[in-house]
Amino acid sequence: MTITYVNNNYIDHNKAVISVEDRGLLFSDSIYELISVFNSRIIDFDLHIKRLFISLKKIRIKPNFSKKKIENIINKLMNQNSLKNGYIYIQVTRGTAERKHEFPINYKPTLIIFTKNLNINKKIYEKGVKVITMPDIRWMRRDIKSTSLLPNILSKQNAIEKGAYEALLIDNGHITEGSASNIWIIKDSNKIVTHPVNNKILNGITRQTLIKILKKNNFIVLEKSSTTGNLEASREYKITSLSESSGFLLISDLTPK
């Protein structure tokens, strides 16, 4: 039996419930984090929790918990669920209230944390993956790790239906990111280009860590906007996300929309 945490309760994952009037359910009035676990080690915990609190501040949810409380919950769940390789999912909503668009005057945030065991698919690292390009139809606050992911879901599904692994999103001719990943363009043997941090992309934790590693190893990382023409003319290009958190995932073929 897998144990999940919901508002101070540790319960069977299959029996975990929230109110039908929870604002996360009704409005996607919530944020989340997905934290990788490898060999029983939590990857970049501090960076993920820092971004969680930043996202909460940006959408004006006042948390009723601390970083230490989340850490204690996660450690207990990892132990109970024997988590070795997989991820930890954290979601915070504005809580339960009458269905009105404006913020409730008094509210108690809903805190959900669960874990998932996963096996890493090593074949995709060896062979690479196919991607397609699509218009970026998301809202203009992509820097917030919101649960409002319908445009991402539609883009990803379109890619899958076209036999691709990921959709690269294009905003006015410029590459932003993937439906669930950051994009890296390899210009030459030591020069790598990725979109700058602003409201048009999510500042991925894997992205932040890789930039530090690349610079430490004397790679030149250029954080600037690139056009689709630059993508097609590049030496190669790669994507990173939680599922590829151990490094670059090679894109073997770019298929137009």
Burial class for 25, CB neighbours closer than 10 Å (0-12, 13-18, 19+):
middle
Look at residue 217 and give its three-state secondary structure.
coil
Catalytic residue among 145, 156, 200, 238: 145
Annotated active-site residue 15? The verdict is: no
DSSP annotation of 88: E
Sheet holding 129-135, edge to edge: 220-223, 191-194, 182-186, 236-240, 249-255, 129-135, 166-171, 174-178, 226-227
Strand runs labelled E in 79-147: 86-93, 110-117, 129-135
For CA atoms 78, 112, 52, 66, the dihedral sign is negative
Residue 61: both structure tokens together? 């949810």
The catalytic residues are 145
